[in-house]
Chains A and B, each alone.
Chain A
Amino acid sequence: MSIRVLRPGLLTTVQDLGRHGHQHIGLCPGGAMDVVSLALANALVGNPPGAPALEITVIGPELQFEHDTLVALCGAEFKGGFPHNRPMLVRAGATIAVGRAARGARAYLAVASGFAIEPVLGSCSTYLPGGFGGFEGRALRHGDVLSPNEDVSRERFAALKRKNGATVRWSAPPLTLPDREPIVVHAIEGQHYGMFDSAAQRAFFDTVWRVTPESNRMGFRLGGPPLVRAAAGQSSDEILSGPTCLGSVQVPPSGVPIALMADHQTTGGYPRIAEIAAADVPRVAQMAPGATLHFALTSLQTARELRLDAASRLEAALRSIAWEYGM
């Protein structure tokens, strides 16, 4: 049932929903940057939402399938011609080339039954800085061989309604792809918002920020005017190192904001000017270097409503996919 990596792409790693419950020992949850697209890709091949899948970044891999394998690709649009947002039965011996991202930055490739990966601390996610989890704790390379957990592809494909050859006549909605740029990212005032002078506070919400190439799974560095703190010249030591979360926007002395992403540090000594609403984190994860965003000041209450809305949209999409499987 093996799947051979002919070309690894820019950064292809195995990810699931991450390892939780270890932040007190400094280990971040990690996991898929865009958990919504991960869940959709998994649902399309009949998996639970958190099954381990491949997270593909900007330049996709080329993979060869030894057996008939039911796969789905969700998230960013890639130019390789492989169908997006629908289940597809890849025939034995066939090769797929995902190509280059045209819109968005990350796509998730799920296979029926999930990839067979030994969990580390309760998760199959690859944690690159620590070199563990996923496939040997690293990004995929040429020649790597993965395999699905079980041989269920043909059986599952047979269960699907409304088929069209090796795929289906319908597709799942893309829920996290960026709309017109700059995309609007909702953010709540951070604990240290008041430490920035009013000009910096205004600049934070007025600026069209650009995701710089110095961005990765740990954090996105945002290009724009440096944000100056109220008391200039003080060192970062004055802030007691404290907790961070997924979506924290911290401002080091350079004034260049960093939005913390999946593999973020669990604590930090830089002031946190804002936190991105949880509902918007998967959309931010779809931003490639060069993409632009602007922050909209949001209340905790509104952020909560956005989160519940996003959850119900995903829930509806997952329900309609389940219906196609007759469930």
Chain B
Amino acid sequence: MARLPKPLGVVPLGDLAAYVEFSRTLDLEVNSVAQRLAAAIVARAVPWIRDVVPALGGVALHFEPSFEGDVREAAAELVELCMKKGLPDADDLGRRIEVPVCYDAEFALDLAEVAEKAKLPAEEVIRRHAAGQYRVLMVGFAPGHPYIGGLDPKLAVPRRVAPRALVPAGSVAIANQQTVVYPYAISGGWNVIGRTPLAAFDATRLVPSMFAPGDRVVFRPIGRRVYLELLEHP
């Protein structure tokens, strides 16, 4: 078994949370370890922890306000215990999510620009994006907003210089080495190359968020007709 990377340290996140930091740069392997650690901590159902948040480079632990100890010490001890016992396998975490995406021009607001920057025909950008095997690295920024890793390096274009004031809900966008899905119409600077008809977040659903950290994701290209059908009957 490969040795697990040790955390760089545990930093307080105020006096009611602590961040177990593994890396200051994006590393998919380390990110996966953070997710496995988060799963191990959740499985312990520690009564004084009310939120376990796997992030890009580590895990945040949010404590119950009634907790009386030192959050940094408590978090460090818990992490050590979990790492010693062994973490769950990455393959056993997360679900497999298939996201239907319509890459038609009316939704792919930045496809031409991306194609130009990547020096690829637009069809090739779509083909490569839809051929990828992805994993959700983190959900944040807005409820249900995933940061998804595994983008084809050929598609790694920077964010737009001027962010859009309002990116339509469901927009599928790329930047750097990641892809995102906008759960709501919010402002954002990622390059929009398609749109899914499914709601990434709905608080009234049994499972509110389509994405959770560790989920494996594929994008399935759909035409405009299927898009509209799914919009009506998800």
Contact = CB atoms under 8 A, between A and B. Distances in A.
Interface of A: 20-27, 29, 120-121, 127, 129-130, 132-133, 188, 191, 237, 240-248, 265-268, 275-278, 300-301, 303-304, 307-308, 311
A240 B54 contact: no
Contact of A240 (B17, B23, B52, B65): B23
Contacts of A29: 51
Nearest to A28: B143
Contacts of A22: 51, 143, 208
B184 interface: yes
Contacts of A132: 203-204
Interface stretch (B55-63, B83-91, B112-120, B121-129): B55-63
Given A25-B208, A120-B203, A304-B70, A278 B15 contact: yes
30 contacts: A20-B62, A21-B51, A22-B208, A23-B53, A24-B212, A25-B139, A25-B143, A25-B144, A25-B208, A25-B209, A27-B143, A27-B208, A130-B184, A132-B204, A188-B12, A240-B24, A241-B138, A242-B55, A242-B56, A243-B53, A243-B58, A243-B60, A267-B141, A275-B12, A278-B65, A300-B70, A300-B72, A303-B15, A307-B65, A308-B68
B208 A307 contact: no
Looking at chain B, what size class is its interface with the partner chain?
35 or more
A246 B142 contact: no
Nearest to A189: B12
Nearest to A241: B56
A301 B208 contact: no
Given A120-B203, A242-B19, A247 B212 contact: no
Interface of B: 11-17, 19, 21, 23-26, 38, 50-58, 60, 62, 65-66, 68, 70-72, 138-145, 147, 159, 176, 184, 201, 203-204, 208-209, 211-213
B193 to A, nearest CB: 20
A213 to B, nearest CB: 20
B139 A277 contact: no
A244 B13 CA distance: 7
B19 A24 contact: no
